[in-house]
Structure 1
Amino acid sequence: MGSEGKPSAFKTAVGVVRALMTVARRKTPPDMHGQVVLITGGSRGLGLAMAEEFALQGARLVLAAQDEEELEQARRQLAEQGAPVLAIPCDMTNREQVQHLIDQATEHYGRIDILVNNAGIITVGPVLSQTLNDFEDSMNIIYWGAVYATLAVLPQMVERKQGCIVNISSIGGKVSVPHLLPYSSGKFALTGFSEGLHAELAKEGIHVVTVTPGLMRTGSPVNALFKGKHHAEYTWFSLSDSLPFLSTSAKQAAQHIVHATQKHRVAVTLTIPAKLLAFFHGMFPQMTIRLLSIVNRLLPDSGGADGFDSSTGRESETRLSQSFLTTLGRKAAQDYNEDA
């Protein structure tokens, strides 16, 4: 009886080992070597950081952005690192240009495996300093740009029964933060589009990832638009975007996004503060909104009649925004082509 038990025990051990190997294989991210990744808003900031991380995984890149000079600078930077990269100028608010972008990228590489909808615009200031154009610009770039690109790439993905769409939303697309209303409106729309898209396309073999970052040190404040008392607005925004306990580095954010893409995650929220805010808002929505209204009282007012004018971050520097407190943010601006 003892001898009969040995084969049974051996078979059990083999079964356990095989099961563990299967689990290990499932946990190992799929190889991205040779995958074609198109990143909108890829010439600077988070877009450029993601391009570097995808390239490290062996992906072939397509970068799209409106500014041709910045786009060429990003292309050279990636090419020097050995990445195969195609740069295509594109206004993401123009449907015809977006279709041309998809067609040109497909003609060059033969297909698009991963679309990363990252293009966006940040307008900071109280709602009383915002105009209808500010809301329209935000929706056109953040939401409609993503919709145009997605609808243009879907036919080839559906035909292959394979593909991935990564939508870079924001914690502002889950919790509307004061003085970022046009931005949050666009991100809320993108979040809804992205989550519904996943539900509908899963049966087609197409995976959709909704990314919800918190504050990141990408250097983006220098190119954001500030209204109202723009010097004061830029100061608080650049400080928040630079301090390490409030923000994460662009590289870390990009690594998490690429990993989430490889693992076919449905949704990912970046930074502990963002996760805490989303959780608190989900549990206590009324309290969150009331607390944010108190926070708003601490922020600068609209600045009167002059508050409607827009100024970039680099036009709104103050002694505090250039102090040691923003060192990490200013370095990120240099590293990721924001301060070109």
Structure 2
Amino acid sequence: MSKTRMTPAMLVGAGLGLGLVANAYLKRRNALSLQGRIVLITGGSSGLGLALGREFARQGASLVICARESEPLEIARQQLSEMGAEVLAIPCDITERQQIQRMIDQVVERFGHVDVLVNNAGIITVGPMETVTVQDYEETMQIHFWGMVYTTLAVLPHMLPRKSGRIVNITSIGGKVSVPHLLPYSASKFAAVGFSEGLHAELAKEGIIVSTIVPGLMRTGSHVNAYMKGQKVEEYTLFGMLATLPITSTSAEHAARRIVQATRLGESEVILTVQAQLLARFHGLFPGLTSAVLSTINRTLPSAEGTDIERSMGREEKTPLSNFLTSMGEAAANRYNQYVRQL
């Protein structure tokens, strides 16, 4: 009786099949009901943070939202409360460790613990590297990296004894592929991805699941509060258009639904949007070619020649053309409290 020999193709197919079965099993095992869970969202007063708050509220979670500015935070609290969620809003600058600790103390006093931490707070500075200062790098790193580290370390002592918890880190495709005119942003997001991936590996044995979320461009309206440098009008028009058009971006609602699903299922990494997935895979296979393509693209972007290093918010650089090109983004900015934030 002849024996069937396993070919390389059959072995690969069997391996893929086993991988899919194992992945499905892990998702079922890690599935978490969000009903009554305590979810803390940094940067929760506007943009993606507010969209996430609304989606977690729909799932029955109790919310803690924090942000630096009190007025948009209170507006967000009212909106989320109207959905029936229990909401605690705490003004907090996540670059200040003492403020974070006071916030966590308030959360524990009110709710007893934190089930889910979403590190979402962010900042964007757009412009050629010649206009970027050391202060721009430091500020961005403080928020995207150290803010994530500080908040995580403050929450962990309340998760570790319970052997339970979820930490969701909102990074960026800019943390996988560094793109021109976003150098401080990309550098800090690379650091955030490294921290998040390492944290996932180390905390799994403690019963705490860390999810690294890697979004592409999203229509959250955040472009109106991004900092522009160099040829500011041109930078704003281009960035706003890319962050607005459906072919290059996804809606905040879709992103929030997918992130909350990843939180509930305990997924280790999610790259949002097809565009971001393709870019990450292409860069992984052809890093040199990716750099060459980005170098070519950079030559077509607004130059730094004749500009200074002063920055302004995107909304200050609007023109009739940019208003037309970013009409969907303008609608998102109004829907997600972006214009409540101070200049």
- The answer for unaligned runs of 5 or more in structure 1 is 1-21
In structure 2, stretches of 5+ residues that fail to align are 1-23
What is the aligned-residue RMSD (CA, Å)? Answer: 1.6
Deviation at 1:326, TM superposition (A): 1.5
How many pairs does the alignment contain? 318
Instruction: Report the Cα distance in structure 1 between the residues aligned to 2:273 and 2:310, rounded to whole angstroms.
Output: 32
Partner of 2:328: 328
* Letter of the 1:327 counterpart: S
Show the counterpart of 1:311.
312
Once the two structures are TM-superposed, the CA of residue 261 in structure 1 deviates from its matched residue by 0.5
CA distance in structure 2 between the partners assigned to 1:43 and 1:25 by the alignment: 30
* Residue of structure 2 in register with 1:84 after alignment: 86
Q: Is the 8 A contact 2:165 2:208 kept in 1?
A: yes
Structure 1's 203 and 126: CA in aligned 2 closer, same or farther, altered over 3 A? same
Q: Which residue of 1 aligns with 2:138?
A: 136
Question: Cα offset for 1:107?
Answer: 1.0
Q: Distance in 2 between matches of 1:226 and 1:116?
A: 27
Give 1:54's aligned residue.
Answer: 56
Aligned partner of 2:15 in structure 1 is none
CA contact (8 A) 1:43 1:337 kept: yes
The answer (yes or no) to whether the contact 2:159–2:165 under 8 Å persists in 1 is yes
Q: CA deviation at 1:25?
A: 9.4
Q: Does 1:338 align with 2:330?
A: no
| Partner SS, residue 187 of structure 1 | helix
Aligned residues with identical type, % of pairs: 58
So what's the TM-score if we normalise by structure 2? 0.90
* Contact 1:29 1:259 survives alignment (8 Å): no
The reply to whether residue 93 of structure 1 matches residue 95 of structure 2 is: yes
Q: Which amino acid aligns with 1:339?
A: Y
Task: Give, in angstroms, the shift of residue 23 of structure 1.
Answer: 6.6
Work out which of the residue numbers 211, 214, 222 in structure 2 matches 1:212: 214
With the length of structure 1 as denominator, give the TM-score of the two structures: 0.91
Paired with 1:177 and 1:125, the residues of 2 have a C-alpha distance of 11
- Cα offset for 1:217? 0.2
Q: How does 1:294-305 map to 2 (within 5 A)?
A: 294-304=296-306
For 1:84 and 1:67, the matched residues in 2 are separated by: 20
Alpha-carbon contact 1:168-1:210 (below 8 Å) kept: yes
Tell me which stretches of 4 or more aligned residues in structure 1 moved more than 4 Å.
Answer: 22-25
Identify the range of structure 1 (130-139 vs 294-303) with the bigger mean alpha-carbon deviation: 294-303
Shift of 1:26: 2.2
Q: Output the CA distance in 2 between the equivalents of 1:310 and 1:302.
A: 13
Q: 2:107 aligns with which of 91, 105, 125?
A: 105
Q: How many Å apart are 1:192 and its aligned residue?
A: 0.2
Shift in alpha-carbon separation, 1:277–1:24, aligned structure 2, 3 A: closer
Residue 335 (structure 1) shift: 0.6
1:319 Cα offset (Å): 2.1
Once residues 287 and 133 of structure 2 are traced to their aligned partners in structure 1, the CA distance between those partners, rounded to angstroms, is 27
Q: How does 1:78-227 map to 2 (within 5 A)?
A: 78-227=80-229
